[in-house]
Amino acid sequence: MELYRRSRNAPVTDWMILINVLVFLYTALRGGMSDNDILLRYGASYTPYIFEKHEYWRLLTAAFLHFGIRHLGNNMLVLFVTGDSLEHALGHVKYLVFYLLSAVGTSACSYAVEVWMRREVLSAGASGVVFAVLGGLIWVLIRNRGRFEEFRIRNLLFFSGLMLLGGFISEEVDNVAHTSGLLIGFLLAVVLYRRPAVTLFSTDMT
């Protein structure tokens, strides 16, 4: 376990997963799995509340709420598998900034489309952030000639495409958050990621 902890070294990812799980348990105990009003009370994104009441904080809090155990489990599993590698690439502080900006950015994109289409939608979930992590990793892989840790660019592109397709063929899925997440994550990684210089050889002149 100590060896695993040292090799993973992704405290921000682990803390974000823990926070999502704890928030889910808190809301579930209050009926959040069967009552959307509970999620609305605790910060889910709802177009009229943001547009009319200017409750813009919901753009962040919605990313920590989930509609059910399956919704939570799918998002946290992908985040657990991919988030640590992006955290290694960016560093802990930059990754935290990346995570929070992705949460707000994807929620804002969904909100903008809902306002444009005049739809009143209750939405929540970390899937936008999950897709942003995938988008960020794609840029990291590009900068590292298609390989970074256990990831390969071809495999990650296939996996990302499969997840996008799964959203489009499913009902009640926020595909705007997914597609914007990929783009936002990619662009944030372009700004935040700096490939470390590699020393090819060294000489000892003493």
Q: Which residues are catalytic?
A: 127, 178
Taking CA atoms, 86 is separated from 25, 133, 171, 176, in Å, by 27, 7, 30, 22
Strands 45-46 and 151-152: unpaired
Neighbouring-strand partners of residue 152: 147
Separation of CA 101 from chain center: 10
CA nearest neighbour of 56 among 124, 106, 107? 107
Summarize the chain as % helix, strand, coil (round to 5): 70, 5, 25
Reduce the DSSP state of residue 93 to 3 states and report it. helix
Q: Could you tell me if 136 and 86 are in contact, meaning their C-beta atoms sit under 8 angstroms apart?
A: yes
What is the residue whose two structure tokens read 């994109």?
109
- Return the DSSP state at 189: H
Structure tokens at 156: 């990650």
Three-point CA angle 24, 28, 31, nearest 5°: 145
